[in-house]
Amino acid sequence: MNNAAYIQLFKLAGPEMLIALAALAVLLVDLTLMRGAPVRARRVIAVLLTGVGGFAAALYLLQVPLRAVSWGGLWAVDPLTQLVKLGLVGLAVLTAVLSLEADYTDHVGEHFALLLLATVGLMVMAGAADLVLVFLGLELTGLSLYPLVALNKAGPRATEAALKYFFFGALAAAVTLFGFSFLYGLSGTTNLAGIAAALRGRGFDPLLALAVVFSLVGFGFKVAAVPFHLWAPDAYQGAPTPVAAFIASGSKLAGFFLLGRFVALALPESGDAGRAALFTPGWVPAVAVLALASMVLGNLAALAQRDLKRLLAYSAIAHAGYLLLAVLALNGAANRPAALAALVYYAGTYALAGLGAFAVAGHVERHAGAAALNHLTGLGRRAPWLAAGLAVFLLSLAGLPPLAGFPAKFYVFAAALNTPHAGAVSLGLVVVALLLSPVGFYYYLRVLKLAFVTESEKRPAGPDAPGNSPQGGENRFGVETAVALLAAAGVLGLGLFPQWLLGPLQAAVREAGG
């Protein structure tokens, strides 16, 4: 490989390098120029630098290459990956803006640097076309997020959350690596497409099934699918809210995109010999089980939650179940483009709504000390804009038209029903999903009832409790409100005009060649 290849690598991995450079710049500026400056000023500068880095990377990403390019089979750049990376960068910048109010830590430079490096990890996940890079992306994201979860050292829950996140992550990584090693052993290559080529037509192989199931563990952990979800409620609740928002949005989007690409690229399609064919690739039944368990457990457990962030965590698990339906639909070449577009559309709109909901939760938490559901009482009166945003997000998550959640669910279900060879399973899962929708409505509406209808007679104690604070500062138009309104506008716009996102996505999928 000569110098030209290096230059090509620079071009193809440019956005990631820009983000990594921004991370270094944030760290450097905060530790040198801003040393001794007030924390607030340091945060502003860090957010500005993050924004500049994100903007530069986004500009770079917008020069979408016309057709798919690959660097030595390791690194894929096509319109689809660029779109997903654009979304990831956007989510990261929104998270950084939310972190402007991060008054729980003095380590501003490290905080924003890790956020940016986590974004690099997510982008690596999005672009990886080789098991080595897949694993590195998963690990880079994980290792950046663990310390971020533990950022609030004064909070009693943060350490517990980070430890749980870390232990589950380490274990999942180990099992996944085990699975990858089997895949390599079976195919003799780490290239995703190469694995599929080597495995095609091998018939049922127990070792392959084992390899696939083991490999899925890491993805299941990253997207918080049952039974790898145990870290999620604690991590979402214990982590600083911007970090939780990023885990719920960015990590989810990249995780599902990677899972979709992994399944579509690396695992051979099922044959066409009836029922037995269903089990040929091994991943279809495994993903079906994950999807069913996630939908049922996520929705039912969400009913019992008394904390907004925990509730959002279980709702995230339930949505992971719906998203896994889209992953299932990737089985079968004819259906694949539609399913991939639906998957990315769902994950993207979910990420936007989730981020917005966490922004609201962050606001409540900052003013009431925690984001328990009964702290929401009277939010509609105290902070009408935020409450309206919350309504948009939760109704979108519930799947109510005209919000983005509705077309997302619609396209995913449609793709699932179109799946060849797996009609019964997909049909059953879609029926379960539809049956669980009222459950989702119930707990989302319960939150909204608290926010809009219930009068706050029992005000939580404490000087910062809503209504008691001397400045009555809740009505101030803070960053959370701004982010929430922006996200709400996105959710509404994409709900009214799903083709805005779906159109480019479908075009990109066609360009990327499935």
Partner 1 sequence: MQAALFYIFAALALVCGFLVVANPFSRNPVTSAMCLVLTLVWLAGLFVLLEAFFLGAVQILIYAGAVMVLFLFVIMLLDLRAEERRRLKRLGLVGGGLVAAALAVLLRGVIHEAAPAAAAPPAVEGTTEALGRLLFTRYLLPFEAVSVLLLVAMVGVVLLSKKELK
Measured from the CB atom, the residue of 30 and 307 that comes closer to partner 1 is 30
* DSSP assignment string, 180-202: HHHHHHHHS--BHHHHHHHHTT-
Look at residue 76 and give its three-state secondary structure: strand
Which residue, chain included where needed, has tokens 């922004």?
A: 359
Determine, following the binding rule CB under 8 A, whether residue 106 of this chain makes contact with partner 1: yes
Measured from the CB atom, the residue of 65 and 504 that comes closer to partner 1 is 65
CA 413 to chain centre: 20
Determine, following the binding rule CB under 8 A, whether residue 140 of this chain makes contact with partner 1: yes
Site for partner 1 in 31-90 (CB under 8 A): 71-72, 74-75
Determine, following the binding rule CB under 8 A, whether residue 509 of this chain makes contact with partner 1: no
| Structure-token pair, residue 208 | 């392959």
Q: Quick one: CA dihedral 359, 360, 365, 370, positive or negative?
A: negative
Provide the H-helix boundaries in 128-155.
Answer: 131-149
Measured from the CB atom, the residue of 144 and 176 that comes closer to partner 1 is 144
Shortest gap between Cβ of 108 and partner 1 (angstroms)?
10
Contact (CB, 8 A) for 350 and 319: yes
Shortest gap between Cβ of 340 and partner 1 (angstroms)?
24
Total number of residues shown for the chain: 514
**How many residues line the site for partner 1 (CB under 8 A)?**
49
Determine, following the binding rule CB under 8 A, whether residue 114 of this chain makes contact with partner 1: yes
Number of H helices and E strands in the chain, helices first, is 22, 2
- 60-68, 79-87, 101-109, 265-273 -> range binding partner 1 (CB under 8 A): 101-109
SS3 of 43-66: the string is HHHHHHHHHHHHHHHHHHHHCCCC
Task: Pick the binder of partner 1 from 48, 59, 69, 132 (CB under 8 A).
Answer: 132
| Rounded Cα distance, 325 and 327, in Å | 5
Provide the 10 A C-beta neighbour count for residue 300: 14
The phi and psi torsions of 71 (rounded to 5 degrees) equal: -105, 100
- 109-117, 256-264, 369-377, 396-404 -> range binding partner 1 (CB under 8 A): 109-117
- Omega cis (within 30) before 227: yes
Q: Using CB under 8 A as the criterion, what x/- string covers residues 420-459 for binding partner 1?
A: ----------------------------------------
Task: Pick the binder of partner 1 from 52, 68, 197, 210 (CB under 8 A).
Answer: 210
Measured from the CB atom, the residue of 139 and 474 that comes closer to partner 1 is 139
| Rounded Cα distance, 488 and 292, in Å | 29
- 133-141, 299-307, 346-354, 391-399 -> range binding partner 1 (CB under 8 A): 133-141
- 204-212, 297-305, 328-336, 462-470 -> range binding partner 1 (CB under 8 A): 204-212
| Structure-token pair, residue 202 | 């091998």
Task: Pick the binder of partner 1 from 30, 78, 101, 110 (CB under 8 A).
Answer: 110
Which residue, chain included where needed, has tokens 């939150």?
A: 447
Provide the 10 A C-beta neighbour count for residue 434: 12
Shortest gap between Cβ of 199 and partner 1 (angstroms)?
10
Measured from the CB atom, the residue of 101 and 307 that comes closer to partner 1 is 101
Determine, following the binding rule CB under 8 A, whether residue 27 of this chain makes contact with partner 1: yes
Q: What is the largest CA-CA distance in the chain?
A: 72
Contact (CB, 8 A) for 487 and 353: yes
Q: Using CB under 8 A as the criterion, what x/- string covers residues 151-190 for binding partner 1?
A: x-xx-----------------------------xxxxxxx
**Which residues make up the interface to partner 1 (CB under 8 A)?**
1, 5-6, 9, 13, 20, 27, 71-72, 74-75, 105-107, 110-111, 113-114, 117, 120-121, 124, 130, 132-133, 136-137, 139-140, 143-144, 146-147, 150-151, 153-154, 184-190, 205-207, 209-210
